[in-house]
Amino acid sequence: MWTLVLDGMLRQFFVTGALDFTYPDGTTRRYGPGQGADAHLIVTDPALLRRLVLSTELALGEGYMDGTVQVADDDLDAFFTLIIRNIVRFDVWWRRLGVRLRRAKRWIDQNNPAHRARANVAHHYDLSGALYDLFLDADRQYSCAYFARPDMTLEQAQDAKKHHIAAKLCLSPDMEVFEIGCGWGGMALTLAQDYGVRVLGVTLSTEQHKIATARAARAGLSDRVRFELKDYRAVSGQFDRIVSIGMFEHVGAPHYGEYFDVVRDRLKPDGIALIHTIGRVAPPGATSPWIAKYIFPGGYCPSMSEMAAAVEHANLYPTDLEVWRLHYAETLRHWHDRFTANEYRARALYDDRFCRMWRYYLKCCEHTFRHNRQAVFQMQIAHRADAVPLTRDYLHPASAQRQLRAAE
């Protein structure tokens, strides 16, 4: 029965390219109009067929982790390219149904009060610190890099990201900056060292807090940078600038209003905030059940409409919006390649199942950015319309000066 149902689903799903699918009994069938197979999936566990019908994304990811789903030659690039291109072209009824059911319950799944937010953060960010050393840059930037030039190394692109954000903050020495979600401290240390500001960074990860605090001490910046193990909602006072990089994805849709109310209340009347987040260039949706279970519990990437509505209700003024296309795909490609090169070390820390999970996560996310409607939003917001210069020339002063000289 389950073979017949799954066969019908796959026949509906593939409208471009072709997939060879080998069933547990050894039978191979081709799905899609392509002349040759773009990818080949092999399922060895008969019990998995039922789960693939009832919860396709979750069962597929778990099967790959367990080794009961194999991709020929382990070519995840070809597999995810084929799958996501078909998702984009034709969203079949059974997939739409799953998304609607997840959206209906996301107010439960994404309800992240402080205690639950802390547990969600620990699930991912309190993994062994040695794991992140295997694939991140030396500064441990775990968010989208900015490839201002295509030949940039990961280190150069992550450094470019930090300074691009700093330019949007319009910093002056001794300003007070509040960083919501400080990670391992790299952004805060850069702002203090290169721009002379004072930073309060908060995180819910004990591992990140420990490392960030130690880094500040080693850099001799403990008098200018303070890291606290605290929920962003528990911070008091007001700041000249607020920056949040890769944290808004963990807030959860039920808390968007609360988040931007905090930004409003913590920001001085002439202050500027910069929110950098993954977003969907599409209407509101739902998080993949596999990602929610194994990678980012409680997480959700907002649509622009959801984010903008919360900003409006907080009575904040959006002063700039930039959409980064494909930068995260390139960032994830670098991370995957570095992780793969060091996979034997990851296996020593965890096991083969974990390594398969991590590779699946990095490749799935890379191709979601590459082929689906996912990007990075950088929203600059303030209380006042004149909080920042009226043109973007301040971001590239050398270019602006050349334009002025040419006009003379």
C-beta atoms surrounding 112 within 10 Å: 24
Residues in the chain: 408
Distance CA 298, CA 366 (A): 20
CB atoms within 10 A of CB 116: 14
144 is catalytic: no
Q: How far apart are CA 408 and CA 398, in angstroms?
A: 16
Catalytic pick from 170, 301, 364, 365?
365
State both tokens at 2. Answer: 């389950």
Distance (Å) of CA 373 to CA 99, 132, 243, 370, 377 = 15, 27, 25, 8, 12
- Cα–Cα distance between 207 and 293 in angstroms, integer? 21
Please answer whether residues 31 and 19 qualify as being in contact, where contact means their C-beta atoms are separated by less than 8 angstroms. yes
Alpha-carbon span 116 to 165, nearest angstrom:
29
100: exposed, middle or buried (C-beta count within 10 Å: 0-12, 13-18, 19+)? exposed
Q: Closest by alpha carbon to 14, among 100, 96, 91, 118?
A: 91
Active-site positions read 365
